[in-house]
Copies of this chain bind each other. A is one copy, B any other.
Amino acid sequence: MLNFDFYNPTQIMFGKGRIADLDKVIPAGAKVLVLYGGGSIKQNGVFDQVMSALGARSITEFSGIEPNPSYETLMQAVESVKKNQIDFLLAVGGGSVIDGTKFVAAASLFDGADSWAILEKGGRNVTQALPFGSVLTLPATGSEMNNGGVVTRKSIKAKMAFSSRHCFPKFSILDPTTTFTLPMRQVGNGAVDAYVHVMEQYMTYPVNSPVQDRFAEGLLKTLIEEGPKALSNPADYDIRANLMWCATMALNGVISTGVPQDWATHMIGHELTALHGIDHAQTLAIVLPSMLRIRKEGKRAKLLQYAERVWDLRDGSEDSRIDQAINMTQDFFEQMGVKTRLGDYQLNADHIPPILAALETHRMVAIGEKRDVTLDVSRQVLELSL
């Protein structure tokens, strides 16, 4: 096991009816900015529940945080914070709204002249942030219980990540009933996103970490079992609750303790989103299967463990078990309604060079757990995903 630090002070309030408890966790005199996305929370009753729980507090709204939240939009929220003397932020939505709120929390108190520097430094220059909480309505990114976010700057087509010890939500409310009315595309994307998060922390090389491995495998098996059920029984509470808790546990730091991490799939995926607007989870579904095939040798021991423990593959040659496990992974993504080929998104070989150029611009030229995913490896991965 590798040395590690683990710190995660976010309070999780999980279950039916928990939105009413906002009243207990936001200071009574707070001036609250409520941040949300496209307005679905106004149709499904979540917005009304939030407003009712906030009671007499001073409330300002900021709507329109888009999927892959943009720097341009978020800086308008920062202006609202300053203009309205906001002292507490409440994100209501999915990972994009929560990621965006983290950035607003940090940028509102940022010392530098230009808040884009937060993204350029990956958040290492954040020394304080406004307190914020979240009401999660889309289980996927895990943003509700970690300190990281991803922000896109439209003007330069850049999608950049940041994190800071100051950017943990004070609390996150996870009420599975808020997810009953999600479009199926978002349900599928959410399960795939959580799945690939686990894979980025699990599918590397063995370091004798049986607890972390079994936790990761437990999340993967649960996603495989529960994901398809959520598509066919959208209003089943337990299925939604299990998916929601999987997505949170997939990226709250527990399964990454003491193990190497990959994240090459995410780095390539980010460029696909930035350049072509493909959903985040779709990019992961495109890249991961090819990534595993191309890097089979480096990941052999873990791929064999994955084949046996997650997919129950015990017979046949090593290579056939590995190939079968990767195929079953890809089939699972397709089963969740997430297409896994570049061609499915109208991209062809001509689109690969600009993706590689973007990776180079963002210095993603030696990524993965062994820093051996060069631009040439990324090219092979993308070619295999055509």
Contacts and interface: CB of A to CB of B under 8 A. Distances in A.
Contacts of A258: 14-15, 241, 245
Interface stretch (A30-38, A221-229, A348-356): A221-229
B218 A222 contact: no
A257 B1 contact: no
A15 B8 CA distance: 18
Q: Which of under 10, 10 to 19, 20 to 34, or 35 or more describes the interface residues of A? A: 35 or more
Given A209-B242, A245-B257, A246-B211, A5 B11 contact: yes
Contacts of A208: 238, 241-242
B11 A7 contact: yes
Given A5-B12, A8-B8, A210-B218, 13 more contacts: A3-B17, A3-B18, A5-B13, A6-B11, A7-B12, A210-B221, A210-B225, A210-B242, A211-B218, A214-B222, A215-B215, A241-B258, A245-B257
8 contacts: A1-B14, A5-B12, A6-B14, A208-B238, A208-B242, A211-B245, A214-B214, A214-B219
Interface of A: 1-18, 208-211, 213-215, 217-219, 221-222, 225-226, 238, 241-242, 245-246, 249, 254, 257-258
A133 to B, nearest CB: 13
A254 B238 CA distance: 18
Contacts of A254: 254
A6 B14 CA distance: 8
Nearest to A218: B214
Contacts of A221: 210, 214
Contacts of A214: 214-215, 217-219, 221-222
Nearest to A242: B210
A5 B14 contact: yes
Contact of A218 (B5, B10, B218): B218
A340 B14 CA distance: 38
B3 A14 contact: yes
Contacts of A14: 1, 3-6, 257-258
B15 A245 contact: no
Contacts of A8: 8-9
B242 A1 contact: yes
Contact of A1 (B211, B219, B238): B238
A46 to B, nearest CB: 17
Contact of A210 (B9, B11, B17, B226): B226
Contacts of A246: 211
A11 B6 CA distance: 6
A267 to B, nearest CB: 27
A191 to B, nearest CB: 13
Closest 3 CB pairs of A and B: A3-B15, A214-B218, A9-B9
A9 B11 CA distance: 9
A246 B238 CA distance: 27
Contact of A222 (B9, B15, B211): B211
A17 B3 CA distance: 9
Q: Name the residue among A6, A8, A18, A222 with the largest chain B CB count within 10 angstroms.
A: A6
A218 B209 CA distance: 11
Contacts of A10: 7
A242 B15 contact: no
A215 B198 CA distance: 14
A11 B214 CA distance: 22
A279 to B, nearest CB: 25
A1 B18 CA distance: 14
